[in-house]
Amino acid sequence: MSVYLLPLALSLLVLGAAWVLGQWVRRRIRRALFVKSASFDAQPRTLGAHDKLTLTANVTPVGGHRLRVQGVVACALLEHRERRIHEHAYDMTGDKELRVEVTMPSEMLKSGVVGDELTSLFSEDVHWALIQWFVEFRVYAEDDSEVHTHRILLDVPVGRALTANRRALEEIIVEKCTTMHSDLVLNWLVHLAHADGGIGQEEHELLRHVLEATQGIHGKAEADRRIAEELQKKVGIDTLVVRQHMPPHMLNEFYRLLYAMAWRDGGVAKSERAFLNDAIQKIGLDKYQVEELEREILADVAAHTIR
């Protein structure tokens, strides 16, 4: 079977390479039609929170074209692809040299590889990620189409490490619970909170918040009674029933929710990882889907870290 699939795989590779080449050629042609010359700079290139960053651009248009330039200060989470987690665009103005001075955020993630403290959070097949800051200069034509871009990397040696952001994760959990609004989701959430041997005070408070947001339960006593009831129920779920009654996007949301709950206290314990692995099998996710969903939660938390 694999022998017969080889020509198809090769064809897809060729088509993919042709598409990438075509996009590159298209961008070069667009630039040649609108931009005669262009130079960009960002100083300083090593900086931290609250620092001033000066962006400059010298762009000469072709013929009588009127071009405008933006400087975009951005941060991305890099792994197998780039996830933009923060960006702020600034219009650049000036007679000859275009210039703008910007102030960096008050809270910044430091540049570099995400540290060892996060490697135990993910499934075995998830690789390290990289935090990268940069300035992206964008040149636009009269019709607001982008005709040229240029990127300059920035270094942020001192800043916050990417760790569990309790507030951000709680917002994610409540939002996803409200969207899904399912007794099944609540049951699994309660059992995951109990997976490490007990439900702590902060976990109780979060579950009460979830019950208030999703089911209108406001009283502490009533909420605690419901949590205790859910804990007594069996968490075992029939795989076929789950897949039949929950569409794929809801299954993905379900796992994102469980993973956010597990990571909320800053680490994923072995018992919690075992619970997540059981969930993965029951809802039918493969390792690539799991990696993508866990990285999406990481990117959400990273975005909440930058202020």
The answer as to whether 288 is a domain residue is yes
CA proximity to 230, closest of 272, 199, 197: 199
Asked which of 99, 119, 154 is the last residue of a domain, the reply is: 154
Q: Which pLDDT score is estimated for 125?
A: 47
CATH code, domain with 131: 2.60.40.840
Asked which of 98, 130, 154 is the last residue of a domain, the reply is: 154
Q: In the numeric block, which tokens belong to residue 74?
A: 């951005």
Q: State how far the Cα of 158 lies from the Cα of 104, in Å rounded to an integer.
A: 13
The per-residue pLDDT for range 102-150, each reduced to its tens digit, is 999 998 999 887 754 454 555 544 456 789 999 999 999 999 999 999 9
The answer as to whether 46 is a domain residue is yes
Q: Do 105 and 185 lie in a common domain?
A: no
The per-residue pLDDT for range 154-191, each reduced to its tens digit, is 999 998 877 766 777 777 777 777 777 677 788 888 88
Asked which of 109, 130, 154 is the last residue of a domain, the reply is: 154
Q: Do 187 and 284 lie in a common domain?
A: yes
SS3 252: helix
Q: Has residue 9 got a pLDDT over 70?
A: no
Q: State how far the Cα of 201 lies from the Cα of 218, in Å rounded to an integer.
A: 17
CA proximity to 187, closest of 221, 224, 223, 234: 234
- Using 50, 70 and 90 to split pLDDT, how confident is the model at 17? confident
Q: State how far the Cα of 224 lies from the Cα of 208, in Å rounded to an integer.
A: 7
Q: State how far the Cα of 123 lies from the Cα of 255, in Å rounded to an integer.
A: 13
Locus of tokens 């013929």:
63
The answer as to whether 236 is a domain residue is yes
User: Average pLDDT, stretch 236-251?
Assistant: 68
Q: Do 227 and 252 lie in a common domain?
A: yes
Q: Which residues pair with 83 in a beta bridge?
A: 77
Q: What is the largest CA-CA distance in the chain?
A: 75
Q: Do 206 and 257 lie in a common domain?
A: yes
Instruction: Give me the domain span that covers residue 41.
Output: 36-154
Q: Do 175 and 290 lie in a common domain?
A: yes
Print burial letters for 197-207: b (CB count within 10 Å at least 16), e (below 16). eebeeebeebb
The per-residue pLDDT for range 244-279, each reduced to its tens digit, is 666 778 788 888 888 888 877 666 778 888 888 888
The answer as to whether 95 is a domain residue is yes
Q: Which pLDDT score is estimated for 174?
A: 79
- Cα–Cα distances (Å) from 106 to 47, 84, 136, 171, 302, in that order, read 12, 18, 20, 21, 14
CA distance from start to end of the chain: 52
The per-residue pLDDT for range 21-75, each reduced to its tens digit, is 777 777 788 888 899 999 999 999 999 999 999 999 999 999 888 999 999 999 9
Q: Do 91 and 143 lie in a common domain?
A: yes
Q: Which pLDDT score is estimated for 97?
A: 93
The answer as to whether 271 is a domain residue is yes
Q: Do 176 and 149 lie in a common domain?
A: no
Q: Do 176 and 142 lie in a common domain?
A: no
* Number of domains the chain contains: 2
Q: State how far the Cα of 185 lies from the Cα of 211, in Å rounded to an integer.
A: 11
Burial of 122 (0-12, 13-18, 19+ CB in 10 A): buried
70 sits in which H/E element: strand 68-78
Q: State how far the Cα of 212 lies from the Cα of 229, in Å rounded to an integer.
A: 16
Residues above pLDDT 90, as percent of the chain: 28
